[in-house]
Structure 1
């Protein structure tokens, strides 16, 4: 017997429907801003010393490190700012997701930490994947400009 699908799921507590419908966009915005600010925080040390990660990126096979290390710093610091304010949200989130997938490889494979070492990077990559496809919402610079990728 086939299950019938409905276009609306029923809530266990129907009285919460107005809360969910009135707050979903602001909660999404909070997630985007927090993710962006934390990426900025993580990239701050790299942007103040853009060549400081040359050895690390070369140990992962990214040559020349003098190219990839500043690119990593720019992606984390300025990409985080872009995600937080919601400007060029999709490409900035996509770039952050790529960086985080590399950290999944680094922690999980290179450092042989497995899932326990890579789980935070997996979670962060998934968050940025969400925004790479979703983009900013009405609480973003993209929306104010009326243009998005």
Structure 2
């Protein structure tokens, strides 16, 4: 983990820096927790019925569906928990990003909805890309155990 204050450009209005700088770690943690919890809620139905998405994943070209459907359920549900608490944040966020990029493909190309259909998935993929690259911060289980992948 790096100290963000040393790598940031100087503030355009230095007086305002005192207002927002104390909150940057808290806001980053809040974004991570919200993204993780929303991924858990999205994956909850799939984890209850892990083979329920077999037809959907096979329709996207992922065979065998009996393998990919439970993997999708586990990635969304357990990956969301890991991101939310900040444990194995990078690999969990990377897996979530891959799932979301597949949904970009599905909504943007397969269904023919274009950007209008894929924009939420693009935004969510970008959020998980941020955490896949950045990892967690001081307010995470990774930080408490002193390790990050």
Written as runs of structure 1 = structure 2, the 5 A alignment for 1:127-138 is: 127-138=127-138
Return the alpha-carbon distance in structure 2 between the equivalents of residues 56 and 125 of structure 1. 20
Match of 1:39 in 2: 39
Two-structure CA RMSD over aligned residues (Å):
0.9
Return the alpha-carbon distance in structure 2 between the equivalents of residues 77 and 10 of structure 1. 39
CA contact (8 A) 2:11 2:17 kept: no
Return the alpha-carbon distance in structure 2 between the equivalents of residues 19 and 73 of structure 1. 41
Post-superposition CA distance 1:88-132 (Å, at most 9, x none): 000000000000000000000000000000000000000000000
**CA apart distance, 1:19:** 1.8
Match of 1:8 in 2: 9
For the pair shown, the structure with the greater C-alpha radius of gyration is: 1
Return the alpha-carbon distance in structure 1 between the equivalents of residues 142 and 11 of structure 2. 33
Return the alpha-carbon distance in structure 2 between the equivalents of residues 124 and 91 of structure 1. 16
Post-superposition CA distance 1:2-33 (Å, at most 9, x none): xxxxx733323x32211221010100000000
The size of the alignment, in residue pairs, is: 142
Match of 1:3 in 2: none
Return the alpha-carbon distance in structure 1 between the equivalents of residues 17 and 11 of structure 2. 9
Match of 2:65 in 1: 65
CA contact (8 A) 2:37 2:84 kept: yes
Match of 1:120 in 2: 120
TM-score (norm 2): 0.93
CA contact (8 A) 2:40 2:78 kept: yes
